[in-house]
Chain A
């Protein structure tokens, strides 16, 4: 694990990354160092094992799902660009910036953050959180003392609460509405990733 930080010129596609993600150069360099530190064999790619090696994730209920979010469907490796793209969702939202029409949605906007979270629930990517998927997530996030019957009950109520069109599943719009009062911008932002 190298202790020195990389030189900006060592990072491929630095300018495009900065443009796309909105990170400052310092942040990109820092994340590149982190990427390289995680990439034990210096492959230039990260595999799931590399990320699973981070111990804290093993005691995070959603740890594995988040790891999977870094990898595209079916792939086992991710490069730096994809890595930092995911992290870009967690950049703090700049205050006071108005939504300029015509520009693409920035990656750290509320919408994007919610989409990221939604994608963690919606494992089969059908655009809806079904009852089973909700049950799975609940099972992950709740202690083992909770019985299955209770869990089913909770899952149903949760869906009931959010489901507006009565199809028994939660679409993205319903999801976004159900959390509209939450301060997503703050709760899904890392101050470190300026």
Chain B
């Protein structure tokens, strides 16, 4: 019997994952619950016994940890910690508020007698309030997966759902023990003890998580020779953190969350690629599977008439209260928060937050844990909880997406955007991204800087493999600083491997201090409205493009143009952020785009640097004249002697430029040669180097000219230090100073920029 049920479950999971169309409308969680109900109904009809229910033990020890670990491990850390204050406020104060108000209101209504005769006291109501108040991470994730909201909103709701576990656990345990003691025996001391226990539980749980994260990172540092079981360590140690916290009666969810959150950076840096992939896929699989099972079990467990107690007033009022109080709580807290936040939370965000406060399996598991001897009306609570969970997951889950879309429709226009609008609109987005980057984040966060210093100096040295440390000089998950040296290395390596292949390969990440794979946080326009507007234009276009095609043949060219543009325009940053997905490993489309652009930009910079240094005054037109000039120059023989004839506006400047130019010229030419085999036969003005001669630059200039040992490439592009040293006009002489900066040596002090160890060998 159980075997057949399991078969049904697995086939159901497969079917749901195959049909994306269905899940676009109905959240998967809802479907699973319905299916569970269905199955339970079958079993009940067949045997008149209740089939398996979701026992709290199974839930808390086997089903919940993978999900929470998955959430923690893939948590976008910078975003999380950046909004930690907000998240904590909602998680702690919000949950307490919800619990208190719901419990007390229910009690008040009970006193008025509408509910009829029940064997309940105030404490029971408060206990019930505390377990029904918590927003559930599983349910939230399941639903938000379908509804793409902006990242700040997502992290707030999601973070809240994770962190409120501490509050829930404390409240639950406190009230549970109060109920056990009996209402009359509760003293003020006990209340104080309760409050203290909150801090102990939450901070203790966090501490346990951090300790295990440290342990895990340390272990992975030394697993170089046992690569096969690296993934095993990750899972085992994380699970240990969960169990340990549970054993110590601390908040286990917090423990495993913070274990995942804190270890991710080091573990990802330390373990090899294959292990990393294994970990990722396994985690997703476990989390996905657990989630499926949880929801199905929720459905199945509901079909258990033994527990069904129906009390209309109680159930209805519970639903009403939790919704209403959540809204009130969110509004008040947002109002307070907006005074302290730079990026404000708008009405739409608040709507989504209130509406997205789903209850789920955690509440159910907690209620199932209740002792019916102490809580006489346990069955009532269970039934109500089931209904509440079903309501929020199914109804709210189903309607949140249309709600969000309805809000979006109000803001956008239903019109086929014209070519110009699309193009310029996209340009505006890019411009805005760039200006945002230039104007910087909200300001140097003192704490963040301190942490990153500490991390860089101490933590990473301990926890990261030496090889990983080397390739990550700065730890913060932002783009590292580029200098021209990195650019040259990057482009050179690219040309060595063949332009397009290089761009498409995944191993370019360590080339420069650029981390292509992490999504970059955006503080811009953190309102749902703006992001939704983006979605609107792309959705509208597709439908209307189809219509257009049907309308007239004459406009096919137009449609094609639109379609091409739509498909191939580079996406602005706001659009291609897809932070967290339970069911997908985030595809690397963005990486490709980034690499293409990066490659192009680096080449352009090299060329423009080259052109300015040669003293040619370049207007911003295409470098046609440049091409001509340089072609002529080159024809005349050895490049070195040639450039000597160029006016020396500034002797040292040009000498430095000589260094650079030789490197740059060489690269540009190698580039050009390799570029002609571009796959789609693109003759790209942006890509093709300017000059057309290839013969003269077959060898790097230093090889043709020099009478001394060929210096390494890095040495070649070093800038001499002192500006007034005319000794340097003699043929290539290695500079003794190793200053890694391309800036003209104006100042007395040159701080060497962070640079990579040898990455290319030419």
Contacts and interface: CB of A to CB of B under 8 A. Distances in A.
Interface string A1-44: 11101000000000000000000000000110110011011010
B342 interface: yes
A190 B435 contact: yes
A193 B439 contact: yes
A66 B621 contact: no
A178 interface: yes
Contact of B601 (A58, A158, A184): A58
B454 to A, nearest CB: 13
Given A55-B482, A179-B424, A145 B438 contact: no
A78 B749 CA distance: 21
B421 A181 contact: yes
Nearest to A156: B561
Given A58-B602, A150-B564, A157 B558 contact: yes
Main SS at interface, chain A? helix
A144 B594 CA distance: 12
A186 interface: yes
A4 B411 CA distance: 40
Contact of B514 (A58, A183, A186, A188): A58
B426 A58 contact: no
Contacts of A193: 439
Given A90-B432, A141-B426, A188-B428, A154 B565 contact: yes
Nearest to A29: B443
Contact of A191 (B343, B440, B620): B343
Given A54-B479, A55-B478, A154-B419, A132 B424 contact: no
A20 B743 CA distance: 32
B164 interface: no
Q: Which one of B426, B437, B750 has the greatest number of beta carbons of chain A within 10 Å?
A: B437
A124 interface: yes
B247 to A, nearest CB: 41
Contacts of A1: 444, 449
Interface residues of A, number: 79
Interface in A29-85: 30-31, 33-34, 37-38, 40-41, 43, 47, 49, 51-64, 66-68, 70, 74
A186 B412 CA distance: 13
Interface string A86-118: 010010000000000000000000000000110
A154 B684 contact: no
B424 A49 contact: no
A154 B619 contact: no
Contacts of A166: none
Given A141-B423, A190-B524, A193-B439, A181 B431 contact: no
B471 interface: no
Nearest to B503: A144
A143 B431 contact: no
Contacts of B437: 54, 56-57, 60
Given A63-B601, A190-B524, A120 B431 contact: yes
Contact of A145 (B419, B420, B680): B680
Contacts of A192: 342-343, 436, 439, 442, 523-524
Contacts of A64: 601, 604-605, 608
Interface of A: 1-3, 5, 30-31, 33-34, 37-38, 40-41, 43, 47, 49, 51-64, 66-68, 70, 74, 87, 90, 116-117, 120-121, 123-124, 132, 135-148, 150, 153-154, 157-158, 161-162, 175, 178-179, 181-184, 186-193
9 contacts: A55-B482, A124-B621, A139-B686, A141-B570, A144-B678, A157-B557, A188-B432, A191-B526, A193-B439
Interface of B: 342-344, 413, 415, 418-421, 423-440, 442-444, 446, 449-450, 478-484, 500, 513-514, 516, 520, 523-526, 530, 533, 557-558, 561, 564-565, 568-570, 593-598, 600-602, 604-605, 608, 617, 619-622, 678, 680-686, 742-743, 746-747, 749-751, 753
